[in-house]
């Protein structure tokens, strides 16, 4: 067996093209973060998102069998690192759209894919999709049986339609560019009030715009300042019965599959932020004397801090790549590795960027320096896409309790 993290020629081309596009196009999206309101900031990124779609990058995130150009999660990780290191907000708008499409890609029939995906395969426009899972009051216990609430959004089967009522929160781009809803909302809802949680929850695709989508507020987030995460309600929103994704009652399994696929990418988000912070801190240390004789990189404490940061970046990247590869080849260890990549990459990013703030010192407290913004963006990583404390560690705990669990499987050395 050979272990080789060398990129293929095609992956290297993707990396360099994405890096060039990020520097030339995504950099300008940063100006949006200085606007007054969350919606103003989000709307200001629309031309940048349109340029991403026009350059074919959304297509590169959709699997080839579904009509896109993506060949696996490793390629997604390469692309995500280049984009997210330059502008996390608009990158999250694109990847949040991919997350919104995952229930269709994983659970949709050929007819559903052929009907719902075409707008996202074109190289023009600004199509948005959203995975409507989280709800006000929290969703870490989405499968909680009575007297717990679990998923509170409901869908009634009336005639040939589903009629959906409930509230959602923290869903990327869900209310769209005009508060009427993204082009596709994959809505997690309760379709059988009397069934056990593993049979009560389903995912239904809602095609926007819809007058039943009622905007409540745009959350004024700490980081990702130009990315929209709204709170909204669904009031008698109608979707055809044929828009049920997967089978009725299979929503929790479909949700788990989608979020496992994205977990390793959150690890890469952490890598991207650490990489941007390290680049700034290294240049600062090489040039700044801070009133002394020599650049501060010659001080042992600074050198050691930079060494620890760079080591953490490389470890997080390769764990995430390993997880992506395991998912691509459908390894039995894929779920474990993906969750570990999410936990390690996200929490390491917060720690490493904080350490680099100490290296730079008071200058990092100036908005003209990027470290404050990078730390604000990093703070979201341990708590979104399945919070590390409420969900991700529980997933690992559950894996460890399985009677057939082999702790050597993730290393490829199963007994």
Task: Kindly provide the residue ranges of all beta strands, DSSP E only, lying in 159-288, ordered along the sequence.
Answer: 161-169, 184-190, 201-207, 213-218, 230-240, 244-245
State residue 1's pLDDT score.
42
The DSSP code sequence of 351-387 is HHHHHHHHHHGGGGGSTTSSHHHHHHHHHHTTTSSS-
State residue 331's pLDDT score.
93
Residue 414 CA neighbour count, 13 Å, CB half? 9
With beta carbons less than 8 A apart as the criterion, state whether 315 and 270 touch. no
pTM (two decimals): 0.95
State residue 145's pLDDT score.
76
CATH homologous superfamily for the domain 129-248: Butyryl-CoA Dehydrogenase, subunit A, domain 2 (2.40.110.10)
Topology of domain 253-411 in CATH is: Butyryl-CoA Dehydrogenase, subunit A; domain 3 (1.20.140)
Q: Which residues in the chain show pLDDT less than 70?
A: 1-3, 413-415
With beta carbons less than 8 A apart as the criterion, state whether 265 and 344 touch. no
Active-site residue (options: 75, 183, 377, 385): 385
Distance, CA of 191 to CA of 150 (rounded, Å): 13
Domain boundaries, the chain: 9-121, 129-248, 253-411
Q: Same CATH topology for 129-248 and 253-411?
A: no
Residues 6+ positions from 368 with CB-CB distance below 8 Å: none
State residue 411's pLDDT score.
85
Secondary element (H or E) of residue 156:
strand 154-158
The DSSP output letter for 149 is: -
State residue 414's pLDDT score.
60
With beta carbons less than 8 A apart as the criterion, state whether 89 and 45 touch. yes
CATH 1.10.540.10 holds for 9-121: yes
242-262 per-position pLDDT tens digit: 999 999 999 999 999 999 999
Per the annotation, the verdict on 143 as an active-site residue is no
């Amino acid at each position: 067996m050979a272990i080789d993290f060398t990129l293929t020629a095609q992956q290297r081309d993707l990396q360099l093209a994405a890096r060039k596009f990020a520097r030339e196009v995504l950099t300008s999206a940063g100006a949006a973060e200085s606007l007054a309101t969350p919606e103003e900031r989000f709307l200001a990124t629309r031309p940048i998102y349109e340029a991403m779609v026009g350059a074919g990058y959304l297509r590169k995130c959709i699997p080839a069998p579904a009509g896109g150009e993506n060949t696996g999660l490793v390629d997604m990780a390469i692309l995500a690192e280049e984009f997210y290191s330059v502008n996390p907000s608009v990158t999250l708008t694109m990847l949040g759209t991919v997350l919104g499409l995952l229930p269709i890609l994983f659970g949709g029939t050929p007819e559903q894919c052929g009907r719902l995906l075409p707008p996202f395969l074109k190289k023009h426009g600004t199509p948005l999709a959203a995975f409507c899972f989280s709800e006000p009051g929290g969703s870490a216990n989405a499968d909680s049986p009575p007297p717990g609430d679990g998923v509170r959004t409901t869908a009634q089967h009336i005639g040939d339609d589903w009629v959906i009522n409930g509230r959602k929160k923290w869903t990327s781009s869900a209310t769209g560019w005009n508060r009427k809803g993204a082009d596709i909302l994959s809505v997690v809802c309760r379709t059988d009030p009397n069934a056990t949680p593993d049979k009560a929850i389903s995912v239904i695709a809602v095609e926007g715009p819809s007058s039943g989508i009622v905007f409540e507020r745009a959350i004024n987030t700490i980081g990702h300042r130009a990315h929209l995460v709204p709170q909204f309600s669904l009031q008698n929103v109608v979707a055809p019965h044929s828009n049920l994704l997967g089978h009725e009652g299979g929503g929790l399994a479909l949700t788990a599959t989608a979020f496992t696929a994205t977990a390793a990418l959150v690890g890469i988000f952490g890598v991207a932020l650490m990489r941007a912070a390290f680049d700034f801190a290294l240049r600062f240390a090489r040039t700044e004397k801070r009133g002394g004789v020599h650049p501060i990189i010659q001080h042992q404490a600074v050198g050691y801090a930079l060494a620890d940061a760079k080591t953490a970046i490389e470890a997080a990247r390769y764990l995430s790549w390993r997880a992506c590869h395991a998912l691509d080849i459908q390894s039995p260890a894929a779920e474990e590795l993906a969750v570990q990549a999410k936990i390690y990459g996200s929490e390491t990013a917060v720690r490493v960027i904080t350490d680099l703030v100490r290296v730079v010192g008071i200058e990092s407290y100036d908005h003209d320096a990027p470290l404050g913004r990078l730390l604000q963006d990093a703070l979201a990583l341990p708590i979104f896409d399945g919070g590390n404390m409420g969900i991700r560690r529980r997933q690992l705990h559950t894996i460890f309790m399985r009677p057939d669990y082999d702790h050597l499987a993730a290393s490829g050395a199963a007994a």
